[in-house]
Amino acid sequence: EMFTENQIEQDHQGAVAAPTPAAPAVPNGFAAIALHAVLHRALADAGYTTPTDVQARAITPALAGRDLRVSSSTGSGKTASFVLPALQGVLDVRASSERRERGTVYGPRVLVLTPTRELAIQVAKATDTYGRHVQGLRVATVVGGVPYGAQLKAMRGPLDVLIATPGRLIDHVKSGKLVLDNVAMLVLDEADRMLDMGFIDDIRFIAECIPKTRQTMMYSATFAGNVGRLASELLKSDAQTIAVTSHTDTHEHIEQRLHWADDNKHKQALLDHLLTTREVDQALVFTSTQRDADWLADRLADMGHAVASLHGGLPQGRRNHVLQGLRSRKLRVLVATDVAARGIDVPTISHVINFGLPMKAEAYVHRIGRTGRAGRQGL
């Protein structure tokens, strides 16, 4: 059910990577960063030549073992900024050829916490991409909504990187199926969102299970209020603060328009009209509730649109299937709720339509950031 990295990579880097299999002629901006050769190779494979702002600023201190408080959003390249140091840590341990007894559960070296299943899968894919030349790299994902069996199997063996949503992770820790004694690096991705979803006590519990000697990296759109307080609990006092703005903050590539509608019927007619225009490559339509998402998707399907709904009420298999349909372009329109749309990274989404308004300004920023990606224009 997992998507393969290739489908995304083709969309993003096909044009760059295809013609020359040899080393890139352009000077590689990553060369200045002290990463293992196999990681540099994976970056070259991905067609990356220049670190993004957050990568340029976070990777080196992370490699030096510093705790980090990073404010940045999706689209900034933040995933690589923690995955690369994480993988370097895994390689360093390998080099010191630490002995491992068969049959003992050691648990992961790196733990990444994410608010949603989708984001966890996204991070796992990035880990596979950047870790593709790390021999025998063991990555597992533990998220809610999928059967326990496969997850338990993945956790029984030796593990390098574990990517998890807090709720399900706690189940495994409490049942004794997973130990966190060997976690040397803890990453909290989209910490503000995790707190919005009520995970604060779960995060505290998990952090308590991990040795104090760990390195902690916290990523969040904001460090105001509770997130800031949690950061001061979890991070060492000499943690480095890094604030970056990305195109999802500045919206350079995103044009925003406001359409007035007389009533609900008019709004629906307007939506149908917008979706019918040729400029729409793929569109993401937001509703406020799961019920509205299903209802609207049904309605648009009746009108002949290639459409599906995506929300947290759907089983994980179905959600993966829908996202796959979007990537493979079988679907042109996705009707989604905020939670489900988190972490969607499909560069061909040309339009984001706020059919139901978001409850928070921050949700709006996240919504519109699903378009205008990978240097494209979005509306």
Interaction between residue 51 and ligand AMP (CB under 6 A) = yes
200-232 per-residue burial string, b: 16 or more CB within 10 A, e: under 16: bebbeebbebbeeebbbbbbbbebeeebbebbe
Q: Which of the stretches 58-66, 73-81, 215-223, 232-240 binds ligand AMP when contact is defined by CB under 6 A?
A: 73-81
Alpha carbon separation from 256 to 217, 264, 330, 332, 372 (Å, rounded) = 33, 21, 27, 20, 11
Shortest distance (Å) from residue 343 CB to ligand AMP: 8
Report the relative pairing of strands 139-142 and 215-220 from DSSP bridges: unpaired
Query: Across the chain, how many H-helices and E-strands are there?
Result: 16, 11
Closest CB to ligand AMP among 55 and 165? 55
- CA-based nearest residue to 139, from 165, 158, 166, 118: 158
Q: Which of the stretches 69-77, 259-267, 279-287, 324-332 binds ligand AMP when contact is defined by CB under 6 A?
A: 69-77
Interaction between residue 345 and ligand AMP (CB under 6 A) = yes
Shortest distance (Å) from residue 345 CB to ligand AMP: 5
Residue 109 is which amino acid? R
Closest CB to ligand AMP among 50 and 256? 50
- Taking CB atoms, the residue at the shortest distance from ligand AMP is 79
Closest CB to ligand AMP among 14 and 315? 14
Shortest distance (Å) from residue 26 CB to ligand AMP: 12
Interaction between residue 344 and ligand AMP (CB under 6 A) = no
What stretches of the chain adopt beta strand conformation (E)? 68-71, 110-113, 139-142, 161-164, 185-188, 215-220, 240-243, 282-286, 307-310, 333-336, 349-354
Shortest distance (Å) from residue 306 CB to ligand AMP: 24
CA 76 to centroid of chain Cα atoms: 11
Q: According to CB under 6 A, which residues from 11 to 50 bind ligand AMP? A: 12, 48, 50
Closest CB to ligand AMP among 43 and 274? 43
Residue that has been written with the tokens 């779960």 in this structure: 202
Residues 6+ apart with CB under 8 A from 30: 40, 43, 48, 49, 50, 51
Closest CB to ligand AMP among 273 and 329? 329
Shortest distance (Å) from residue 30 CB to ligand AMP: 7
Shortest distance (Å) from residue 304 CB to ligand AMP: 31
Number of residues in contact with ligand AMP under rule CB under 6 A: 14
Instruction: For 92-149, give the DSSP string.
Output: HHHHTT----TT-----SEEEE-SSHHHHHHHHHHHHHHTTTSTT--EEEE-TTS-HH
Closest CB to ligand AMP among 346 and 363? 346
Residues 6+ apart with CB under 8 A from 87: 36, 39, 127, 130, 131, 134, 137, 161
Distance in angstroms (rounded) separating the CA atoms of residues 164 and 173: 12
Pattern 75-114, ligand AMP, x by CB under 6 A: xxxxxx----------------------------------
- Determine which residue in the list 35, 39, 52, 366 makes contact with ligand AMP, applying CB under 6 A: 52
Distance in angstroms (rounded) separating the CA atoms of residues 80 and 43: 10
Shortest distance (Å) from residue 170 CB to ligand AMP: 26
Closest CB to ligand AMP among 112 and 180? 112
Shortest distance (Å) from residue 179 CB to ligand AMP: 29
Q: Which of the stretches 51-59, 60-68, 171-179, 326-334 binds ligand AMP when contact is defined by CB under 6 A?
A: 51-59
Binding site for ligand AMP (CB under 6 A): 12, 48, 50-52, 55, 74-80, 345
